[in-house]
Amino acid sequence: MCRFALKEAAIARAQASQIGSRPGTLVIPPGSPAPVVRLFEFDDDGYEQKQVDDLSALEAYADTQRTTWIDIQGLGEAATLHRIGEIFGIHRLALADAVNVPQRPKAEMYDDHVLIVARAPLDEFDPREPLPQVCILIARNYVVSVQERYFGCFDAVRERIREGAGRPIRNGGPCYLGYALLDVLVDRYGPILENISDAMDELEDRLLSNPSPQQLTALYDLRRRLTVLRRSARPQREALLQLSQTKSELIRPQTGIYLRDAYDHASQFVEVIESLRDTAGDLMDTALATLGHRSNEVMKVLTLMASIFIPLTFMAGIYGMNFETMPELSQPYAYPILLGAMIVVAGAMIYYFRYRGWIGGGAKTARSEEAKHS
């Protein structure tokens, strides 16, 4: 994960490459798609939704009595983002935090709005890359959400708005809408952690019975995923706590209860992440120890076999020399005697190894086990 942290640091350095540049300068991520602006205006009586192609049409929604949700999907055009910031009076630093990715999850209080920087945990994500960033800006009568691209995370919230007449999603105002968006991002940790837990359970039995390098690689990938999730979940939890305790007029007391509930869920997920990381670390240590023990057993067998054949090779080497004056060469039974001596030496060494408990279960091992239990 050092490379992951270095990559985030490199991105941050690239954003600040121009020393002394104006605060709030937008740094568009390379390859970002052009922004798609979707509008949702609603109250308890009904709703209106549309895709905005002409940004001047947003001026009519900047000061409306109904709750307005502007969802920006894509960061590819700085001019479009600047124009939206001008229409809704978004502070330049808040707009820069929304656009300059990746940012650490946080909550920032401004005079006219509250900015929440969060991460969107996707079902399939590359553990070598930061999780996608989502920013939510809450004002008196509108909410602006900024996504790196379309993720589909907020589709469930849109459906709740369509079907939510008489419910808090319709009459709770921008602060409740902001909570609903944050709650969706928090809840997405649940299925991902469940899948990781199931995958870890499947690996556990195989690692303990017959570990292999492929299984260790899979376990390491799961641990990297948990590390990426932890890097976003922990500061995101603290941002929810800060938001639930704020005294800002933009956050209704009724919504504070829901924010505390989202904070509780985030805390539970952080605890699950920590628990799974500890389990993955223990499994990794156990699997490596098992592989090391297996290697030691193989090396022990090879060493014992080599030890048996060393004296036999010595004896065979002596009588393999071509000297005419060697007395044993003239003996008629020299060959079977030498073979017998080699067998005796080999048998004596095997007996000694068993006695020491190096192979099988010798007397010495039995006595030591008996002494241990007594």
In angstroms, the CA 43 to CA 257 distance is: 21
Q: Which residue has the tokens 């895709």?
A: 51
* Mean per-residue pLDDT, 38-46: 89
Per-residue model confidence as pLDDT tens digits over 315-340: 888 877 777 777 777 777 878 888 88
Mean pLDDT, the chain, as a whole number?
84
pLDDT of residue 362: 55
**Dihedrals φ, ψ of 319, to 5°?**
-85, 5
Give me the sign of the Cα torsion angle 164, 167, 168, 174: positive
* The token pair that represents 256 in the structure block: 């504070």
Per-residue model confidence as pLDDT tens digits over 153-192: 899 999 998 887 667 888 888 999 999 999 999 999 999 9
Q: Cβ distance 279 to 200 under 8 Å?
A: yes
Does pLDDT of 10 surpass 50?
A: no
Give the confidence band of 13 by pLDDT, cuts at 50, 70, 90: very low
pLDDT of residue 9: 47
Closest-CA residue to 120 (of 232, 221, 4): 232
Give me the sign of the Cα torsion angle 173, 174, 179, 185: positive
